[in-house]
Amino acid sequence: WPGSGGVCGGAAMDLFGDLRRMNKRQLYYQVLNFAMIVSSALMIWKGLIVVTGSESPIVVVLSGSMEPAFHRGDLLFLTNFHDDPIRAGEIVVFKVEGRDIPIVHRVIKVHEKGNGNIKFLTKGDNNEVDDRGLYKEGQNWLEKKDVVGRARGFLPYVGMVTIIMNDYPKFKYALLAVMGAYVLLKRES
């Protein structure tokens, strides 16, 4: 396609042509519509944080360490009510100092002290050894403050979209650009 700029170049020219043909009022309306969608999603997320007591009410399983209970790409729904005691067998999502990504593993041992302080040990169902090697240096047990949430339900493989977007950042930006363009250029009937 010599001289046409290729398929992507033609699509970009169509996009800018559509933007030029819109009057200012339509463009402002579409930008406002896009802002409403983004702010609504943010309000729903913040509402879920309040209702579930978890700083991250929904997480995606990123590894196979919990197979067969959960697979890579499963979407987990979490709660984190501090009054609920942590019990052995429960699946928790926890953060470790020095690591950005939370870990989803099962509680295998719980130590309760007389003063109500609880410490516990975790392990992935598909792992050979417990998680002491994952904790920060010198830490042998987790505490309630380390818990992001506890698994209460899941949707299988729904989170694969998130994994694909993290593995292929160009795909993520292209998808976001297409969705943004669609919202901005979509005309109300």
Catalytic positions are: 65, 105, 131
Query: Which value, in Å, is the radius of gyration of the alpha carbons in the chain?
Result: 23
**What is the rounded end-to-end Cα distance, in angstroms, of the chain?**
35
* Spatial contact of 70 and 61, defined as CB atoms under 8 Å apart: yes
- How far is Cα 78 from Cα 49, in angstroms, rounded to an integer? 10
Q: Where are the beta strands (DSSP E) in the chain?
A: 58-60, 75-79, 91-94, 103-112, 118-123, 142-143, 147-155
Distance (Å, whole) CA 169 – CA 172? 5
